[in-house]
Amino acid sequence: MPFPAPLRGVVPPLVTPLTPAGEVDTASVRRLTEHLISAGVHGLFLLGSSGEAAYLTDAQRLTALEAAVDTAAGRVPVLAGIIDTTTARVLDRAADAVRAGADALVATAPFYTRTHPVEIADHFRRIRAGADLPLFAYDIPVAVHTKLPRDMVLGLAGDGTLAGLKDSSGDEGSLRRILVELRRRAPHFSVLTGSELTVDCALLAGADGVVPGLGNVDAHGYVRLYEAARAGDWAAARAEQDRLAILFGLTEAGDPALMGPSSAALGAFKAAAHLLGHIDCAATAAPQVPLDESALARIRGRLAEAGLL
Amino acid sequence: MPFPAPLRGVVPPLVTPLTPAGEVDTASVRRLTEHLISAGVHGLFLLGSSGEAAYLTDAQRLTALEAAVDTAAGRVPVLAGIIDTTTARVLDRAADAVRAGADALVATAPFYTRTHPVEIADHFRRIRAGADLPLFAYDIPVAVHTKLPRDMVLGLAGDGTLAGLKDSSGDEGSLRRILVELRRRAPHFSVLTGSELTVDCALLAGADGVVPGLGNVDAHGYVRLYEAARAGDWAAARAEQDRLAILFGLTEAGDPALMGPSSAALGAFKAAAHLLGHIDCAATAAPQVPLDESALARIRGRLAEAGLL
Amino acid sequence: MPFPAPLRGVVPPLVTPLTPAGEVDTASVRRLTEHLISAGVHGLFLLGSSGEAAYLTDAQRLTALEAAVDTAAGRVPVLAGIIDTTTARVLDRAADAVRAGADALVATAPFYTRTHPVEIADHFRRIRAGADLPLFAYDIPVAVHTKLPRDMVLGLAGDGTLAGLKDSSGDEGSLRRILVELRRRAPHFSVLTGSELTVDCALLAGADGVVPGLGNVDAHGYVRLYEAARAGDWAAARAEQDRLAILFGLTEAGDPALMGPSSAALGAFKAAAHLLGHIDCAATAAPQVPLDESALARIRGRLAEAGLL
Amino acid sequence: MPFPAPLRGVVPPLVTPLTPAGEVDTASVRRLTEHLISAGVHGLFLLGSSGEAAYLTDAQRLTALEAAVDTAAGRVPVLAGIIDTTTARVLDRAADAVRAGADALVATAPFYTRTHPVEIADHFRRIRAGADLPLFAYDIPVAVHTKLPRDMVLGLAGDGTLAGLKDSSGDEGSLRRILVELRRRAPHFSVLTGSELTVDCALLAGADGVVPGLGNVDAHGYVRLYEAARAGDWAAARAEQDRLAILFGLTEAGDPALMGPSSAALGAFKAAAHLLGHIDCAATAAPQVPLDESALARIRGRLAEAGLL
């Protein structure tokens, strides 16, 4: 399919369902993909942070991506994370994603190494030149420990290097200034927020859509929120976002003394998707700490409270 | 005046005008105060970060606060920053603020020292017990290097220790979760955002008001934005915010190779207020680097572009 | 007394003993001062981080400093911390210290505010110009969140603005490069390390002395360590440092789930000094969490193990 | 060869020489390896941060490692970095390293993802279980943004999971406490410092050796430093370290306005190795900014000043 410019709407970052033995469960990838499409999402993002890309081998990444692409079958675009430390390695991941049939690529700034704005811009230009698919920049300082500078994003949007931005920086002030500029300079550029707790705000501010991890749990909610905002019904959008903000509490079901916030959140998305029947097994990849029974009970309670279970 | 609960609306954090010799220019404090009240603001915040509190001696702080309180004369409430490292020192600042006639106090978490959530909560409880005025927590991790935990804010709101929160954390997701909870638990608690680039969003999310540094430059704009949001006219609120986001570019007029972002922003607010006739002199306190002529020209240009000059 | 150039040796940062009611216990200040001098230390540092300067009011700081200066009576130089956010406030603290009879001043980079190297250098120059005492720069990024740049320290050493550096940055690589340069450029400049676990190393590298918080507990140990190093007996210096590194474990006696590392360390120094009879009461200033009985028992055990009790 | 326990001495982290086209230059890998062995180093570390591991594809890593292993031919042990985000991916890298004939593996904590001490310990245990070679932990917070907790290192040393630690944390105080404990608990455990500016200090403190990036430039110097320390001639060790600290200034030859500190340092090591004839081409991997002519001139000057050229 021709890739939409700009890409708009709800683009959930799929969790990557695993078997109890830790292999990619392609049947569950397919079932989750089908569920999300039927819920009305506008695209799928595979192999992002919510997809545990950092925990999957190259072979596992390819397996998950192929299953999703095959299931989507062109009904919605599939974006593929090509997460690796620097350019040459990212290009290897990009070649895999192209081979698997992805519709667009999503790359972060270099990480592990200390870098510089000139290098980051060059990194994105080399990826775009080396892989013939639309490229999104993934601004996620909590993972890569660099924030994409505003001027760089605007420059790479303006010269066509980037087709869009997935903004998980949490810096809504900087995002606002980008959005105001982009409307003048690059109207086909797509801005998707990864901040799932403030989607009504991001849409009010002019963002094109959202990549909500919690969309693995309540895709219908995010689709309703998006449609309300599109219709200018900001009271309805706000009410939906408030409901989802409460549901988001499930990411804190894990005991912070026993596990990190990342394991707790990814585990909760998977546990909820499992309880709702979208995937067969809630296991997260090693060495993440699994949620215990009391955490699972809290998640079940949240889902019931939200009327999802 | 009885302090409003919750405090709502536009509460600019006044810059502290100085003479060329570096003393507090009380005539300019009075003129700026009068200007802001006539622009329709709903409160005044003295001795915050925008007020260069960290750069003023105790005597200078007192002088500035007294001039503002006297000029306000009960027309709008005056909040006073009582910024110091830990409890005993903050209580000394609080005593000064009470003496000067402030209507409410605004305190940060402890800084310089490494602290702990239990200590921060105790810090606010001791301040509240030691100073008989409504107390706002000032969440400003960029200055104090600690983020106020969500549960602490909710607890101190619920038990009456805090009358409100000035949120300059930039963490809009956490703020949303606080707002959703507060509506149930502490409806008289006031949440003011310090993020002047996303005020429409914060108001949509349920915040009560805003403390915009840029309000020293365009108070009318923030009042219009607030009134549009109150009226549910989100398109108008968004347009006003977009306009202010462009104007905010004046904070980057200084050369980043020659000065820090804080000097540049504070200098720009003062330079603009001076160009607009609200204060007599644009000097910032030592050892901040002053803006040079080319920066001032850029600021003048921004003001003209915005129709303010 | 003429201030030594360079200042050399063991210069403990005195804890500030408090009464149970939280006031400065001047009798204990005097007893601790006397104890340290009799142990052979080469200077005293009042109102540093170990002295809880961030927790003391201006009046309390003055009281503690006066008691120490009076007790020292010129036998060793007294350095006074003048810790505050920026220049004008620091100069107020400097005036107090001069009045109290301090022999030298110790100032950090600006904090709370975001700053810039040009501003930090100007800050030190203004302090030096405004207070007629030798000035030490206190490099403590954990507190002020800025590291003093190497070139700035060398510049301010070379032009006479600074008489010395108290390095608590923990960046031993940068310190080594400073030491190598200083020997050529400013031989009278004094470098004191605040890293009490690597004093043998710092002295081997050319540092002039140490400001050890643990010196409140085992001043004799640090004096022996310094003398061994001075004599070139590195095996003895190393053995002494190893012993002190084990004793340092008392700073972790507090339960990290209940209190921060700073409260735990300051509480431990005071608890140990109290158990050893140097001060009357182990209380730390509010809002720090006090050590509980089990923590005190662990501290007692460490002191016994070290043969101090 | 049986892997030495503990591994002791100078173990340079080899730069990975590239051709102008960006491919691994195996002839230069061999020449550099031969040079280092003839200079008397005690081991070789391939594919570390200095080896630009984060910039090399899996195939390139394998190529470089095979060339070094083949050249070393058992004369000194070859340690291989297996740097990747989390366990499963690291195990793929470990399989490659085993295949290439490495003698030991060097792994970091998980990165990109936010993690937890329990997960980090499990990570190292799974790597050790999944790859039959001695395992070193690589503590490098500047890259992975987590510091290995002291108790974890001691636990994994004590139970045999880890054979050693490469400490590039820069936290010499924590390292000292580890060293003191290890002598009692795990005498065969090897501690190598990655802090090339304080090697005399680390050896005095009881470290077993050093992994100096600057060893690509002056291996003889580090061997002399190590031998002096072993002989207890601390004055000679200190003088050698001082000389190397001055030489280290070449890492700052690049203009900080044009490139990051990492590109500047890696570029300088390669440029110097090229000028000294150890490798054919000084190119660093994309997207790193290359050093310009004036930087190269400064490096040449440093080498001449040090008598190396």
pLDDT higher than threshold 70 for residue A142:
yes
> Nearest residue on chain A to D55, judged by CA atoms?
A86
Q: How far is C28 from chain D (nearest CA, A)?
A: 30
> Nearest residue on chain D to A121, judged by CA atoms?
D287
What is the predicted pLDDT for the residue at A2? Answer: 77
DSSP states along B162-182: -SEEEE-S--HHHHHHHHHHH
- Are B102 and B79 in contact, with CB atoms under 8 Å apart? yes
Q: How far is A276 from chain B (nearest CA, A)?
A: 24
In the three-class reduction of DSSP (H, G, I as helix; E, B as strand; rest coil), residue A141 is classed as helix
Query: Does A23 lie at the interface with D, CB-CB under 8 angstroms?
Result: no
As beta bridge partners, residue A164 has A136, A190
Enter the DSSP assignment of D24. Answer: B
CATH of C9-231, one of 3.20.20.70, 3.40.50.970, 3.40.640.10, 3.30.70.1140: 3.20.20.70
Residue C286: φ, ψ to 5° = -65, 150
D282 vs D290: CA distance, rounded Å = 9
B167 vs B174: CA distance, rounded Å = 10
B8 vs B157: CA distance, rounded Å = 16
Check CB contact under 8 Å for A176 and B241. Answer: yes
pLDDT higher than threshold 70 for residue C1:
no
Q: Which residue has the tokens 């004008």?
A: C88
Q: How far is D188 from chain A (nearest CA, A)?
A: 27
As beta bridge partners, residue B135 has B105
Among residues D18, D61, D80, the alpha carbon closest in space to that of D286 is found at: D18
**For D220-259, how does the pLDDT look when each residue is reduced to its tens digit (9 = 90+)?**
999 999 999 999 999 999 999 999 999 999 999 999 989 9
pLDDT higher than threshold 80 for residue D291:
yes
- Are D185 and D157 in contact, with CB atoms under 8 Å apart? yes
Check CB contact under 8 Å for D88 and A285. Answer: yes
Q: Dig out the tokens for A203 from the structure.
A: 């849409």
As beta bridge partners, residue D135 has D105
pLDDT higher than threshold 70 for residue B297:
yes
Query: Does A143 lie at the interface with D, CB-CB under 8 angstroms?
Result: yes
What is the predicted pLDDT for the residue at C245? Answer: 97
What is the predicted pLDDT for the residue at A1? Answer: 61
List subunits contacting chain A, requiring 3 or more Cβ pairs under 8 Å.
B, D
Among residues B116, C183, B204, the alpha carbon closest in space to that of D239 is found at: C183
Q: Which residue has the tokens 């999944």?
A: D130
Q: How far is C297 from chain B (nearest CA, A)?
A: 23
Check CB contact under 8 Å for A114 and D260. Answer: yes
> Nearest residue on chain C to D203, judged by CA atoms?
C201
pLDDT higher than threshold 80 for residue A114:
yes
pLDDT higher than threshold 70 for residue B127:
yes
What is the predicted pLDDT for the residue at A71? Answer: 98
**For D138-169, how does the pLDDT look when each residue is reduced to its tens digit (9 = 90+)?**
999 999 999 999 999 999 999 999 999 999 99
Q: Which helix (H) or strand (E) holds B206?
A: none
What average pLDDT does the segment A77-98 reach?
98
What are the residue boundaries of the structural domains of chain A, listed by start? 9-231
Q: How far is B93 from chain C (nearest CA, A)?
A: 10
Distances (CA, A) of D248 to B69, B230, D175, D243: 58, 61, 22, 9
Which strands make up the sheet holding C44-46, listed edge to edge? C9-10, C209-210, C190-193, C164-167, C135-139, C104-108, C78-81, C44-46
Enter the DSSP assignment of D56. Answer: S
Q: State the amino acid at position D199 in one-letter form.
A: V
Residues 208-227 of D with CB under 8 A from A: none
First to last CA, chain C: 35
What is the predicted pLDDT for the residue at A248? Answer: 98
C77 vs D160: CA distance, rounded Å = 51
Output the CA torsion sign for C113, C116, C121, C125.
Answer: negative
DSSP states along A165-221: EEE-S--HHHHHHHHHHHHHH-TT-EEEE--TT-HHHHHHTT--EE--GGGGT-HHH
Q: Of the candidates D57, D88, D287, which has its C-beta nearest A122's C-beta?
A: D287
B140 vs B40: CA distance, rounded Å = 26
pLDDT higher than threshold 80 for residue B1:
no
What is the predicted pLDDT for the residue at C2? Answer: 78
Check CB contact under 8 Å for C86 and B57. Answer: no
- Are B81 and B47 in contact, with CB atoms under 8 Å apart? yes
DSSP states along B131-146: S-S-EEEEE-HHHHS-
Report the interhelical angle of D261-275 vs D293-305 (nearest 10°).
60
What mean pLDDT is reported for chain A?
97
**For D31-89, how does the pLDDT look when each residue is reduced to its tens digit (9 = 90+)?**
999 999 999 999 999 999 999 999 999 999 999 999 999 999 999 999 999 999 999 99
Q: Dig out the tokens for B184 from the structure.
A: 């149930």
Report the interhelical angle of A87-100 vs A58-72 (nearest 10°).
40
Q: State the amino acid at position C229 in one-letter form.
A: A
**For C243-298, how does the pLDDT look when each residue is reduced to its tens digit (9 = 90+)?**
999 999 999 999 998 999 999 999 999 999 999 999 999 999 999 999 999 999 99
**Secondary structure in 3-state letters for C158-195:** HCCCCCEEEECCCCHHHHHHHHHHHHHHCCCCEEEECC
What is the predicted pLDDT for the residue at D184? Answer: 86
pLDDT higher than threshold 80 for residue B151:
yes
**For A42-70, how does the pLDDT look when each residue is reduced to its tens digit (9 = 90+)?**
999 999 999 999 999 999 999 999 999 99
Q: What percent of chain A has pLDDT over 90?
A: 97
**For B161-217, how does the pLDDT look when each residue is reduced to its tens digit (9 = 90+)?**
999 999 999 999 999 999 999 988 899 999 999 999 999 999 999 999 999 999 999
What average pLDDT does the segment A168-177 reach?
96
For residue A260, the chain D residues in CB contact (below 8 A) are 114-116, 119
**How many other CB atoms are found less than 10 A from the CB of residue A235?**
12
**How many other CB atoms are found less than 10 A from the CB of residue C211?**
29
Q: Of the candidates D201, D241, D242, which has its C-beta nearest C198's C-beta?
A: D201
Q: Dig out the tokens for B297 from the structure.
A: 């020209």
**How many other CB atoms are found less than 10 A from the CB of residue C189?**
25
What mean pLDDT is reported for chain D?
97
Q: Dig out the tokens for D163 from the structure.
A: 């054979």
Q: What percent of chain B has pLDDT over 70?
A: 100
Q: Dig out the tokens for B8 from the structure.
A: 């709502």
Check CB contact under 8 Å for D260 and A110. Answer: no
First to last CA, chain D: 35
Q: Of the candidates D198, D206, D235, which has its C-beta nearest C172's C-beta?
A: D198
For residue B56, the chain C residues in CB contact (below 8 A) are 88-89
Q: Dig out the tokens for A88 from the structure.
A: 């040459």
For residue D141, the chain C residues in CB contact (below 8 A) are none
B182 vs C100: CA distance, rounded Å = 50
- Are B289 and C116 in contact, with CB atoms under 8 Å apart? yes
Q: Dig out the tokens for C309 from the structure.
A: 């009790």
- Are C299 and C268 in contact, with CB atoms under 8 Å apart? yes
Output the CA torsion sign for C251, C255, C261, C265.
Answer: negative
What is the predicted pLDDT for the residue at C29? Answer: 98
Provide the pLDDT confidence category of residue A184 given band limits of 50, 70 and 90. Answer: confident
What is the predicted pLDDT for the residue at D69? Answer: 98
Q: Of the candidates B54, B122, B289, which has its C-beta nearest C119's C-beta?
A: B289
Query: Does C256 lie at the interface with D, CB-CB under 8 angstroms?
Result: no
- Are B269 and B15 in contact, with CB atoms under 8 Å apart? yes
Q: Which helix (H) or strand (E) holds D78?
A: strand D78-81
